[in-house]
A and B are shown apart, each in its own frame.
Chain A
Amino acid sequence: MEQEIVSARGLTRKFGAFTAVDHIDFSVRRGEIFGFLGANGAGKTTTIRILCGLLRPTGGTCLVDGLDVDRQAEAVKRLIGYMSQRFSLYEDLTVEENLEFYGGVYGLNEAELGRRKHGLLKELELEGLEKRMTAALPLGWKQRLALGCAVIHRPRMVFLDEPTGGVDPVSRRNFWAMIHAMAAEGVTVFVTTHYMDEAEYCDRISIMDAGRIIALGPPSKLKERYAQATVEDLFSHLLDSSREGSRP
């Protein structure tokens, strides 16, 4: 098995005259937690959508677990799990029905689905809430349910797009404990966040600005290289200097 589960070379996406993702090169190692950081509008969500086979690149190549995201998009979708910013949950279904729905979409058989469902309800601390209507759940619980739906088919890699936006500090820590547990089982986690303390939990991070990756490495190494105390300082420092340089 290759060591790299994602490898992008010159990956580009244009929308008309606007280049959202501008010739980026990076790779994600199997089993790591990879933090994908950047300012609003830097191109993070566009990149994730390409990696998940939901949007075709207009240039470059990208392999996910050996599959080409452009030519083998359908196979990529089955292989990965994806949790979008706006959790794709059915509000008028119960907690259990949402899990069953996603299990069905991924073609799990009944016995498998039953086992997986019970395991996830336990892991995600949603036991006792099976029959609860999804619309009535607080945000932190919806978020855990959305994670459950994204991993019900045991993907090798999961993409989480701002999973903790608006979530309180206690729920964020619970959620990250679940991410660490998944990573410990060998699942590769690709995550975006605007909470810089969460970026510190990642094995490696990249920082994106205006469609390009301007830094990539383990948080500790990057902080050392740019002489910054925290990832938050690093983020401000790199974005300020990147924008300074691009001014006419």
Chain B
Amino acid sequence: MSYPVQVAGLQKSFGNLKAVDDFSLELGQGELFGLIGPDGAGKTTLIRILVGLMLADGGSASVGGFDVVRERARVKEIIGYMPQRFSLYPDLTLEENLRFYADLFQVPEAERRARQQRLMQFSRLEPFLGRRAGQLSGGMKQKLALSCTLIHQPEILFLDEPTTGVDPLSRREFWSLLDSLQAEGKTIVVSTAYMDEAVRCDRVGLMFTGRLMAVDTPERLRKTYPFDLLEVELDEPVLNLQLIKGLPRVRSVQVFGDRLHVGVAEAQAAAASLERELSQRAVGPVRVRRIEPCLEDVFVELIGSWKERISRDPDKRGE
């Protein structure tokens, strides 16, 4: 049996820049796979190769059992691809946009009405069928783009940052649509800059400088955080960040909303010394408690340290 997505030793360079570097991955049937990584890590390049829009320099990739180069036409039939800037026609109505994509994918006339109805119910866009795409809100546009991506009933979906610029409520709604697509058995690859979305995936791949640095379930990735983690609540977290960085046992300090996440060696001893040091410096009331790291802790820690390592070399900084 072949994997819905199988990638082996994939390579792609732009001049001196390795955009995809010896990338290998196998996805299971019906898997929801999240692709995360800093800007410029190569996520979009990888997706573009997998959907047959770009040629790799080396290695191989197949989608749905078809080679993405030699059998590109077959790949296009079974995949749905939603790029970062999906081309909706702002002057056409919602219904006309759907019809345009149905034409493009040669959906048989007899099936169109039923598919359109199903998609509009699915995405809850039915009341807006006659509205021009240009007049839809950001969240609705993304739901329409997803609907257009689904018009030819693809088995495997590639979604490149589908929720960028979308408000929190609409994002939640969009992800509930992905859950139902997965329940229908579709395999989904989705890239995102939101860690709260990545944790909803079956597995997450962390990409950096073209490489797959880590791939696992969100749960197991969380456990790779290298320190004990404390959450610190105090009045002016940002102003006290440098102060806390300099305290003993402290290895890492990151801002998380109105709190600080402090990576330490040995939670108990560190919590005690943190409370003592901070109260001596009279920064106001302080609350320290141990917490489990979230995916964002892991991302910030790993990427931060990798970035630090190459930041002294300007040639590599282009990545």
Which of A132, A168, A232 is close to B39, meaning CB atoms less than 8 Å apart?
Answer: A168
Q: Do A128 and B317 touch across chains, with their CB atoms under 8 A apart?
A: yes
Contact indicator A41/B138 (Cβ below 8 Å): yes
In Å, the complex CA distance between A239 and B55 comes to: 45
Please state if B238 and A129 are interface contacts (CB–CB under 8 Å).
no
Q: How large is the interface on B (under 10, 10 to 19, 20 to 34, 35 or more residues)?
A: 35 or more
Q: Are A165 and B165 in touch, CB under 8 angstroms?
A: yes
Say yes or no for B178: interface residue by CB 8 A criterion: no
Q: In the complex, what residues of A have CB within 8 A of residue B245's CB?
A: none
Chain B residue contacts of A196, Cβ below 8 A: 168, 257
Q: Which residues of B are found within 8 Å of A162, using beta-carbon distances?
A: 165
Nearest B residue to A198, CB-CB: B257
A60 to B28, CA, bound (A): 58
CA–CA, A141 and B138, complex, Å: 24
In the assembly, what is the distance between CA of A182 and CA of B317, in Å? 25
**Known A236-B169, A239-B169; contact A173-B318, beta-carbon cutoff 8 A:** no
Interface string of A144-172 (1 = CB under 8 A from B): 00000000000000000010011111110
Is B92 positioned at the interface, with any CB of A under 8 Å from its CB? no
Q: Is the beta-carbon distance between A38 and B39 smaller than 8 angstroms? A: no
Contact present for A167 and B193 (CB under 8 Å): yes
A140 smallest CB distance to B (angstroms): 4
Instruction: Mark interface residues in B73-105 (1 if CB within 8 Å of A CB, else 0).
Output: 000000000001000000000000000000000
User: B307: CB under 8 A from chain A?
Assistant: yes
- B84, B168, B195, B257: which contacts A200 (Cβ < 8 A)? B257
**Is B248's CB within 8 Å of the partner chain A?**
no
Q: How far is the CA of A197 from the CA of B196 in the complex (A)?
A: 11
Render B306-319 as a binary contact track against A, CB cut-off 8 A, 1 for contact.
01000000100111
- List 10 interface pairs A-B (beta carbons < 8 Å), by A numbering: A40-B139, A128-B317, A129-B317, A132-B318, A138-B38, A140-B38, A173-B255, A176-B255, A201-B257, A219-B258
Q: Top 7 A-B pairs ranked by shortest CB distance? A: A138-B40, A41-B137, A200-B257, A40-B138, A166-B164, A128-B314, A139-B39
- Chain B residues packing against A (C-beta within 8 Å): 36-40, 84, 137-140, 161, 164-171, 193-195, 238, 254-258, 296, 299-300, 303-304, 307, 314, 317-319
Besides the known contacts A40-B165, A168-B299, 20 further A-B residue pairs in the complex with CB atoms under 8 A apart: A40-B140, A41-B138, A85-B165, A129-B317, A138-B39, A139-B40, A141-B40, A165-B165, A166-B84, A166-B165, A166-B193, A168-B39, A169-B193, A170-B299, A170-B300, A170-B304, A173-B254, A201-B238, A201-B255, A236-B169
